[in-house]
Amino acid sequence: MAATVYVLNGPNLNLLGKRQPEIYGKDTLADIEAACRALAGELGLELVFRQSNHEGQLVDWIQEARERADALIINPAGYTTTSIAILDALLACSIPILEVHLSNIHKRESFRQHSYVSLAATAVIAGCGSHGYLLALRHAARLLAAR
Ligand code: CA2
């Protein structure tokens, strides 16, 4: 059976491509999903791709991924720096967790530079734009092949 990778996206990422392209790029979230689906197909992975503006919804999906996924890719967006609830949900997972940020958060305002999510992440990709999702997917495939 194909391994399943969940890709979860946090608040305001539904606005990608519509504002601030100089920071987040021109791709919409639908573009990113399509690119992830194409690569997942090549890599033989099942993909679940979701976005929510709500912390509790993201916690529910992380708990779902804990039961159903083989790896989890997450861009927690604004919850990166605030959410102990998301961190706790991630810490309860025993699958690889890949944290993705479109922008290089370490080069930005200091409040963006501390990630609670990184405490649970297997790896972090920041500053590669939408390509970061594809790098994360490839890394997930590599980790899963080495199991
Ligand atoms: O660089 C990233 O991927 C971020 O996770 C994006 C978050 C930001 O809070 C993090 O510090 C870094 C913001 C996502 C909001 O995206 C927008 C896109 C277009 C217009 C407005 C917001």
pLDDT in tens, 62-93: 999 999 999 999 999 999 999 999 999 999 99
CA 4–ligand 1 middle distance (angstroms):
25
Total count of domains within the chain: 1
Q: Which residues line the pocket of ligand 1, CB cutoff 6 A?
A: 12-13, 15-16, 19-20, 24, 75, 77-78, 80, 101-103, 105, 112
Closest ligand 1 atom to 10 CA? 14
Domain that holds residue 15: 4-146
Q: In CATH, what number is assigned to the domain containing residue 18?
A: 3.40.50.9100
The stretches in the chain having pLDDT less than 70 are none
Q: What per-residue confidence (pLDDT) applies to 116?
A: 98
The yes-or-no answer on residue 101 being catalytic is yes
Distance between CA 144 and CA 35 in Å, rounded?
Answer: 20
Distance between CA 55 and CA 79 in Å, rounded?
Answer: 7
The yes-or-no answer on residue 24 being catalytic is yes
Q: What per-residue confidence (pLDDT) applies to 33?
A: 98
Q: What per-residue confidence (pLDDT) applies to 146?
A: 96
Q: What per-residue confidence (pLDDT) applies to 121?
A: 98
- Contact residues for 109 (Cβ-Cβ < 8 A; gap 6+): none
